[in-house]
Each structure stands twice: as C-alpha cells, then as structure tokens.
Structure 1
Amino acid sequence: MTPHTPQAQGTPGPSEVPEASDTREVSGVPERIVVVGASLAGLRAAQALREAGHHGPLTLIGAEPHAPYDRPPLSKELLQGRTTPAGLALEDTAPLALNEYYGRRAVHLDTAARLVHLDDDTTHPYDALVIATGATARSWPGPLPARGVHTLRTLDDARALKTDLDPATPRHLLIAGGGFIGCEIASVARELGHTVTLVTPEPLALHSAVGPEAAAFLTRLHQDAGVEILTGHTVTALTGTDHPTHATLTGPDGTRTLSADTVLLALGALPHTDWLATSGLRLDGGLVTDAYTRVLDVHGRPQPRITAAGDITRFPHPHTPGLINLGHWSNAAEQARAAAHNLLHPHTPVPYHPVASFWSTQYGVRLRAVGLPRYADRTEVRELDPERRRLDIAYYRDDRLIGALTANRAARITAYQAQLADDISRTTLTPA
C-alpha cells in the first residue's frame, strides 16, 4: 500500500440495456482499477470493489490532503463544536490495501490510452475507472476582500468559517444564497449568538428545493430565530480590503447597501468536470451516465469500463424526464456501490434508480425528505402546524407520487419511502 501523500441524452427504453460501445473493453476482468475522488462516493466504490472480489491493484486519488471524511457535519456539528475534524473520518482504508494519493488533483483523462493525469505530472494507467470527483462551491465572479469571505464545501472551508464564527466574538454574518447549506449555517450562527442576514433571489428560502408551503414553514423558523431574510434580492458586490465591511444588494426596488463583517457564499455547487473537458465523455451540467452508472461518450454511447458516482453525475430516473443530479449523502453511497458492481459485471449490469433521501436539522427541527420534491408539479399538504413545528407534504408529478418531506414527523417517511420504491420497481430497467 502506498503511504498517504500530503499533497440531454435520451434515456433507454424500459426493458433495454444499451450495448457497450466497445466489446473489446468488456472481454476480461479488469486488473488495475483507479477511483478518482476520495469522497464518500470514492471510498464506498473502493469498498464495494473489494467486497465483490476484486483483488488486483486498486488506486484511490483525492484532490484534498485528507483521507476520506464525512461532509454533512461540516455545516452542523463541526461548526457547533460538537465534533472535531478527527471525528469526521470515515472507515480506515488500511484493510482495503489501496494505493492512496491525497493532495493530488486529476487534470486530464486520456480514455484512448487509459491514463489519468495528475497535477504533479504523474500518470496512472487503468483497466477500469470510477469517476467520483464530486462538486466544487460556485465561486464569486468579482473581487473579494482578503479574508472573511467563505464557501463551505471542504474540511478546510469549515475550519476557516468556524474560526470566524467563534461565539466569543459576535459578528454580522451575511449569507448569499437560501439553499440548504445557507439555511443550516444560518441556524448554527444564530445558535452561536451571531447576527445573521440571509439573502436569496427566490420568493422564500429553499423555495425551488421544497416548494412554497415547506419554504414558508422553514422561512418562518429562521425569522422566529431572529434571522433577517431578504427575499428577491441578490448580492452583487462586496466591499472591503482586509475584511468585508458592506455588501451591495440588488432587488425589485433597486440597490441597497448592507453592513456585514463576515460573508458566506452559498451559491450552489458545480460538478467538478473541468479535468474531463477533452476526455471525449459527455458533459451536460455534470458527467452524464446511463441508467447503469456507465458514463456516456459525446456520441451517447456507454463506456462499460468507466462508471461514475456522486455529485458529479447526471443520470436518468423514472420519476422525471431528462437527467437529474442528486447532491445527497445517500446518493453518493448507493450510486458508488452500483458503479462498482457494474464495473465488474459489465454483461449483467444493475440499474440505478434510487429513492433519494436527505435530511437537515435547523433550530432543533428534524427535516426528512425522500424522493424528488424539486421536480414536483403539485403538492399535497397533509399536515402544517408551525406552532408545534410539524410538517408533512407529499409531492406529485403528473399525479404520480415522487417525493415527501416531513418536519418532526420522521416516522411517516418510511411509508413514503416504501411507496416510492414500489413505484420505481414497476418501471425500472432490467437487464435483457
């Protein structure tokens, strides 16, 4: 084992398995397998490959200088001081006998020569490849102060933000973006005693993610906790040299200036596909795969010796038209196992059609969701009790249940999950 180094394709028919684009590639068992991305998805893929009986060389490459760690606590427990960076570590990789390269970024993929090129000018040959390079935080398009402006995607990001949110030094935190990361950090910052202003271009926080009823419920949680929420506004400029001092906001009534001494940019994530730009693989808002986790080339042909998993992927799902991206913990883990299986068994692949699952905790309210609420065209509110902080909403598309969200009603999620799984099983692809 190498020591750690500190450094809209159309979907197939309901019973059709797309043919491999190159039968030569699937004629034998791969000897050398490379996993690019030392994320949860990358680690789970490596574990699944070993569990499935792959005994050949297995390489794990990660851009961060850290061994694989758990990301959800970055916006919650780590900032609150309820865990430490060491407490985020995932399973020990020693039993997997991996060749591990951390702090090394992939910069190019040569699919013809089957080589992964890294930023230290080394190359790694492969017989089969799992791509799990995840996503990066969307960056700010203009100039920024030297310090005090943060994104949250990595452990190092969280450490820097935690320093600025020290409860001993009250601050005014401006959050640009009203998605889950922005809302979770707003909750933590208020609990730590900071003043918080959250700016979102949407009519309510989390509006596009969970719909108007749930968004109104969650927006009220933040307002009741003292968060100032400015909806219909966008942060267009940040002022300050050493640290931020003011932000310029643009809204329906023009521009305004707001003081702030710490800023979180929660503007969403971009799949990390730059290193694949000349690979010949299909990129469309992410790395496009078929229903069997196999990446597609630019002509839409599946590559049986290259699979992908996690936040980088865009893939078909029976509950939506087109392709979807799921930036959830559960998706990274489950898709990685499917990717590993299909890499080792290219002639008998299994489809990946998950019942998506995600959770969030804000002000002690436990939110649980399954399915694909974002893609609904209709909602059914089954319980809405802001005073007792309870919520139960079902989401439909074309009168078909595609998701559900609850607040402090987690026991109800199991029934929704079973219903969604049953519906998917009736329409999922099966190998011919």
Structure 2
Amino acid sequence: MAGHVVIGAGQAGAALVAKLRELDAESPITLIGEEPVPPYQRPPLSKKYLLGEMALERLFLRPESFYADQGIDLRTGVRAEAIDRPAQEVQLSDGSTLPYATLALTTGSRPRMLPTAMGGDLERVYPVRTLADVDAMEPEFREGARCLIVGGGYIGLEAAAVAASRGLKVTLIEAAPRILARVAAPATADYFRDLHTAHGVEIREGAALDRLEGDGTVTRAVLAGGETLEVDFVLIGIGIAPDTALAEAAGLALDNGIAVDAHCRTSAPAIFAAGDCASFPWHGARIRLESVPNAIEQAEAAAAAMAGQPADYDAKPWFWSDQYDVKLQIAGLNAGYDRTVTRPGARDGTQSVWYFAGDRLLAVDAMNDPRAYMTGKRWIEGGHHPDPGALADPGADLKSL
C-alpha cells in the first residue's frame, strides 16, 4: 500500500514523521536515512559531543523504539537513488522500490568542500557536518596539536572554540576582510574576534587559502600570498549548500534550494520539501533558512499539508550559536539593514546588536543577553519598531521602549 515517504532522516525528517503520525493514524509512513543511525541533533556534534560532554545516545532526537512504537518504518543506512514521478515510486540503494502517495524531501544540506586541486582530498582534512565526520576527527583533538580552520562563519568559529577549549593551537583563516562578513554586522564580528583572541585563537582575516599540501596527508597550508602554515589537521567550515541533487534529477523546480509554496508543496503536487533544502515564500521574497527551528516548524507544516490539513507556513526566524561560555541568540533576518545600534547588557561581556532598515527593526544579535533577545523577538514578530536613538541609550529600560 502506498503511504507517506520521507527522504532524509535529520531534524526535519524526524519532526515531519512524528507530526504526520499525530495527524494521520492509519497510513503507512516510511523514513529513509542515508546514515546508519537514527535521527540525531547536529548542533551539539561540534560542541558538547566533541568535548566529551554528551553521550551518543543523548544526541538521538528520540529513542529508536519510538519509530516502531508509532508504526513508522525507519530505514537507516540506505540512500534514495531516484524518484520515479509517473510511477510515484522511490528507487533505493538496496535495489528495492518504495511506492508513495505523498513524498517529502528533507534532504538537508551538504558541506562545501575544497576541490581536489586545492588539496581537498588529502587525509586529515575534515568537514564538520555529520556524526561520522566528528567521530573521525576526534582523535586529532590532542593538546598542542596544530589545527587550521578554513572559514570564519559560525561553523568555523564554533569549531575553533572547541579546539581551543581542548588545548589545541588554533589558527582560523577567513578570505573575506573580516569574520562573519556575510551574516553579521561588524560589531558582532568584533565581539567574537575579541572573544576568540582572548582564548588564544589566531584569527587571520583577508587570508585566502591557495592550497593544502602533503604527501597523501596534509602537513601545511599555503596562503594566497605565498605564506606557509605548518598544520597537523584541517577543518573546513566554508558553508553548506542545499542538497537538491535528487530533486533536480526528478525535474522539480529549484530556486536556491527546492522551491516550495506556502504549503511546502514542490512543483510536483504529490511531493513536499522542508528544512535546509527548501526555499519558500516569505514576506514578498523567497528565502531559505538553515536553522533547527525552521527545520522543525516547516516540517510540521509539510506534515499538515500531506495529511490534508494545509495552512500557510509563516516562518519566525531565530538562531543560536554557542562559543566558549557565550550564547549568541539571533532573532529576525538582518538582510537589507543600513545601520546598527550596539547596546551593552546588564553584565560585563554582554551586549546586543540591533539591525535597522531606516526606522524598521529587522533583527537582533544578543550575546549572553537573553532579555534583549526575547524583547527583540517579540518586537520583530509583533511589528514594533523602537526608536534607534533611544535604544542606543544604555540607561533606557527596554520595557520603556
């Protein structure tokens, strides 16, 4: 019997099948996962898990027994090879085919890697994405080891924080003029540059990698200007890209990811998509969000549509990053900002950065300042726009604004 099939057993896939079973108690549900383990959390991988502060079982989003108990056929260690849209079947890597009445793609994203010509195929060069990636690199994290991190976004900075915390000699290079250039204001970048420098990380901005070298195993990095850095291993944190290969081969419309409508439906009526891999309409634009909250909430919206209860998905973007003892919380999207306001928090080392387009509040970055984050989130979601000048006054109480 054809039922609901979900390809991609990450955060979005796990949320989708759980919600789908809640809404549809009878139909068969199958979740296909390429990795050989049940769905797990990714954010703690390069932090608490790599630090040894979280056991493997605590990574799992739900006990493995949950899926069987809910009548969800969880198939791990198997890859979806192709989608036969006319036949409404999925071809799997084990040679079997799986019919579907509705299909959801929660294929997530894949890390951008260095090309072979730049030494991307050398041993001891690691992406930071999956459980297997982190398990493979863990033996490298020995005190005094020389770690090079390529990329000054949040992935690279989080990896740098863990490496420095474990006593490694860490150098981070960023080709752009500053870290976090694509995603945050200079004030936020300055805060995190100072934080990492205080923990012994050497940050090199405007330092493009030319290539990695070594006889099969990386031993050095050559920068664009010819400078050579001796390294023991390299972590690649140059971003991720939506995993759209399966959708593209099936002829689905793409637009910075798998294009879906407000009900998470793709250009094929029986196929839906959610999470990192999907772009969707939002406030007159089309966006794609790489975050755990979006993966869960959009997946639940897709589940409702698949169960015949569609409702428009209205994303409320928020994100976080943990580095050392600092929790960064972000509400809103800062795209299009033309000025920022930096506001000190109530305690030393805390602050918030507020993004405005004209007088309209777009987003806030809050560093160890949960009150600023929660206030900003309420304001953004409620369409409230405080006066930027008053907000910049540290003596002005947030409630009064």
Fold shared, TM-score > 0.5 on shorter chain: yes
1:41-78 deviations in Å (ceiling 9; x for gaps): 00100000111134111000011111111111011001
Percentage identity across paired residues of the two chains: 35
Alpha-carbon distance change, 314 to 398 in structure 1, aligned in 2, over 3 angstroms? farther
2:87 to 106, 110, 113: 113
- The 3-state SS of whatever aligns with 2:241 is strand
In the other structure, the counterpart of 1:428 is none
Higher mean alpha-carbon deviation, 86-95 vs 184-193, is at: 86-95
Correspondences of 1:29-428 after superposition (within 5 Å): 32-92=3-63, 93-142=67-116, 143-144=119-120, 146-167=122-143, 170-250=144-224, 254-295=225-266, 297=267, 303-318=268-283, 322-345=285-308, 349-373=310-334, 375-384=335-344, 388-397=348-357, 399-423=359-383
How far did residue 361 of structure 1 move?
Answer: 1.5
Separation (CA, whole Å) in 2 of partners of 1:149 and 1:103: 24
Q: Let me know the Cα RMSD of the aligned residues.
A: 2.0
Aligned AA (2:310): P
- The 3-state SS of whatever aligns with 1:255 is coil
Alpha-carbon distance change, 245 to 339 in structure 1, aligned in 2, over 3 angstroms? same
Separation (CA, whole Å) in 1 of partners of 2:183 and 2:348: 23
Q: Is the 8 A contact 1:144 1:239 kept in 2?
A: no
Alpha-carbon distance change, 391 to 376 in structure 1, aligned in 2, over 3 angstroms? farther
- The 3-state SS of whatever aligns with 1:277 is helix
1:289-343 deviations in Å (ceiling 9; x for gaps): 1122111x3xxxxx4422211111111211xx63222111111111110110112
Structure 2 unmatched runs, 5+? 385-401
Q: Is the 8 A contact 2:2 2:99 kept in 1?
A: no
Separation (CA, whole Å) in 2 of partners of 1:42 and 1:244: 36
* TM-score, normalised with respect to structure 1: 0.83
Separation (CA, whole Å) in 2 of partners of 1:121 and 1:312: 25
Separation (CA, whole Å) in 2 of partners of 1:398 and 1:65: 50
Aligned AA (2:19): A
Q: Is the 8 A contact 1:384 1:392 kept in 2?
A: yes
Q: Is the 8 A contact 1:237 1:249 kept in 2?
A: yes
How far did residue 112 of structure 1 move?
Answer: 1.9
Aligned AA (2:133): D
1:152-200 deviations in Å (ceiling 9; x for gaps): 1100101112121134xx2110001111111001011111100111011
Structure number with higher relative contact order (C-alpha < 8 Å, ≥ 6 residues apart): 1
Aligned length: 379
Aligned AA (1:393): V
1:71-97 deviations in Å (ceiling 9; x for gaps): 110110011110122220111323221
Q: Is the 8 A contact 2:187 2:342 kept in 1?
A: no
Separation (CA, whole Å) in 2 of partners of 1:261 and 1:114: 49
Separation (CA, whole Å) in 2 of partners of 1:261 and 1:419: 47
Aligned AA (2:288): N
- The 3-state SS of whatever aligns with 2:226 is strand
Q: Is the 8 A contact 2:208 2:223 kept in 1?
A: yes
Separation (CA, whole Å) in 2 of partners of 1:386 and 1:150: 39
Separation (CA, whole Å) in 1 of partners of 2:145 and 2:328: 27
Q: Is the 8 A contact 1:204 1:219 kept in 2?
A: no
How far did residue 385 of structure 1 move?
Answer: 7.1
- The 3-state SS of whatever aligns with 1:77 is helix
Separation (CA, whole Å) in 1 of partners of 2:2 and 2:99: 11
Separation (CA, whole Å) in 2 of partners of 1:350 and 1:68: 26
Separation (CA, whole Å) in 2 of partners of 1:214 and 1:63: 37
